[in-house]
Amino acid sequence: MRLGFIGAGKMATAIARGAVSAGLCTPVELTGSARSSETRDRFETETGGGTATSDNDAVFIHSEIVFLCVKPADARAVLRTHAATIPRCPFIVSVAAGVPLADLQAAAGAHTAVVRAMPNTPCLVGKGATAYARGATVTDAQAAEVERVFAAVGDVHAVPENLIDAVNGLSGSGPAYVYLVIEALADGGVLMGLPRKLAASLAAQTVLGAAETVRQTGRHPAVLREAVASPGGTTMAALETLERSGARAAFMGAVRSATERAREIGR
């Protein structure tokens, strides 16, 4: 499987590296483009021998699937600029937040299969969460290829396009919310006298362990929370403080704000 990346930054490199690790391709079957020589050098090094170039046309020419990993504001322009070359690789997967399939399809051409995907940064460590929506011309075989690639860097879900912006608000931007939680928990530990390094380690492992418990048990988070919070205990006192401070509403509002911003970008 020859994979190409327009924009060879961290997300592109993570996807490429995952595909190689999963045996979906070899490093020599990877081609990425970037304006910065530093980014190109990093792509070649971290993929174990992928080819990096400043020529976007070369990516379309040498690839079976091209991942569009550019800023949302640049996505349409990149496709229009290279419209003559795109037919050489008529399968494009966009990870540009907020850019709708209709716009991508119009810029790429009617005969190009287009997928809109929303991965998140934990793909960098093989623990990503990705959702994708198929364009009208995408075949089942092509959708399966997309799933295989993203499954190499984490979980993957097929969704209708009208849910992609909400995915962006939840899991796309979500790592930043969790990093804030880890930082705040660690700061609380330091406030109560813990050494900074120990507090940070305990906070990160606590979040990791809690998330893995949800995944492995399949139980609702509320049920698991109740199991920790014994009547009149320390956890109930802490939860009362969080609820009184509006923590639940704040996180729900964060997802809403990020979702609405993604929709604004699309317009």
Domain stop point among 109, 136, 163: 163
Report phi then psi at 155, rounded to 5: -85, 150
Residues 158 and 188 in one domain: no
**In a shared domain, residues 12 and 74:** yes
Q: What percent of the chain has pLDDT over 90?
A: 92
Domain end residue (candidates: 135, 163, 191): 163
Per-residue pLDDT at 21 exceeds 80: yes
Q: Give the CA distances from residue 246 to residues 157, 191, 234, 238, 254, in Å, rounded to whole numbers and listed in that order.
A: 31, 21, 19, 13, 12
> Whole-number mean pLDDT of the chain?
95
**213 or 73: whose pLDDT is higher?**
213
Whether 129 maps to a domain, the answer reads yes
Q: What is the pLDDT of residue 205?
A: 98
What is the domain count for the chain?
2
- Is there a contact between 79 and 19 (Cβ–Cβ < 8 Å)? no
Residues 143 and 201 in one domain: no
What is the enclosing helix (H) or strand (E) of 113? Answer: strand 113-118
Q: What is the pLDDT of residues 63-112, one digit of tens each?
A: 999 999 999 989 999 999 998 888 888 899 999 998 999 999 999 988 89
pLDDT at residue number 83 = 87
Q: How confident is the model at residue 160 (pLDDT cuts 50, 70, 90)?
A: very high
35, 121: one domain? yes
> Are 202 and 253 part of one and the same domain?
yes
Final residue belonging to a domain, choices 163, 183, 203: 163
Q: Which amino acid is at 147?
A: E
* Shared-domain flag, residues 220 and 133: no
Q: Tell me if 78 sits within 8 A of 95, measured CB to CB.
A: no
**18: how many CB neighbours lie within 10 A of its CB?**
20
Residues 140 and 229 in one domain: no
Structure confidence at residue 43 as a pLDDT band (50, 70, 90): very high
pLDDT confidence bin for 265, thresholds 50/70/90:
confident
- CATH code of the domain covering residue 157: 3.40.50.720
CATH of the domain at 228: 1.10.3730.10
Alpha-carbon distance of 230 to 244, in angstroms, equals 19
Angle between helices 196-217 and 221-228 (to 10 degrees): 130
Q: Which residues contact 115 (CB under 8 A, 6 or more apart)?
A: 91, 92, 93, 94, 132, 133, 134, 135, 138, 142, 143, 146
**262 lies in some domain:** yes
Burial class (CB in 10 A: 0-12, 13-18, 19+), 10: middle
- Quick check: is 97 in a domain? yes
pTM of the predicted structure, to 2 decimals: 0.91
Write the CB contacts of 110 (distance below 8 Å, at least 6 apart in sequence).
Answer: 137
| pLDDT at residue 222, as a whole number | 96
Domain that holds residue 181: 174-266
Token pair in block for residue 97:
């937040």
Do 241 and 129 share a structural domain?
Answer: no
In percent, how much of the chain has pLDDT > 70? 100
- pLDDT of 267 higher than 80: no
